[in-house]
């Protein structure tokens, strides 16, 4: 029986850069690295699992949300120039 390949965290991180339109070795990439690490740990804590490709894929999805929520931390809604936004809050 073949041994399964280890999860590819670096590969998922490259896909995350591409999805967010960020180039590697930039300040934004360093921030995304940190956000991705936080997302991975959150997924591992939530599932009480070990690092696997499905966990990394879900962490990538969570990191995208975390990246896009920057600047809106703590806000329930915002209204500017006649445009209103409301934000969903998850519970942990």
43 membership: H or E segment, kind and range: helix 27-47
24 membership: H or E segment, kind and range: none
Of 12, 74, 63, residue with least CA distance to 41: 63
Q: What is the pLDDT of residue 77?
A: 75
Q: What is the pLDDT of residue 1?
A: 60
Q: What is the pLDDT of residue 56?
A: 94
Task: pLDDT tens for the chain, 92 residues: list them.
Answer: 655 556 889 999 999 999 999 998 899 999 999 999 999 999 999 999 899 999 999 999 999 999 988 876 666 777 888 888 776 665 44
Q: Where are the beta strands (DSSP E) in 6-45?
A: none
pTM for this prediction: 0.74
């Amino acid at each position: 029986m073949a041994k399964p390949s280890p999860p590819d965290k670096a590969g998922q991180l490259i896909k995350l850069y591409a999805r967010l339109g960020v180039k590697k070795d930039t300040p934004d990439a360093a921030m995304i690295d940190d956000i991705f690490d936080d997302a991975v740990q959150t997924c591992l804590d939530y599932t009480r699992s070990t690092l696997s490709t499905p966990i990394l894929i879900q962490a990538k999805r969570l990191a995208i949300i975390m990246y896009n929520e920057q600047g809106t931390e703590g806000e329930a809604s915002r209204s500017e120039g006649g445009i209103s936004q409301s934000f969903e809050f998850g519970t942990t």
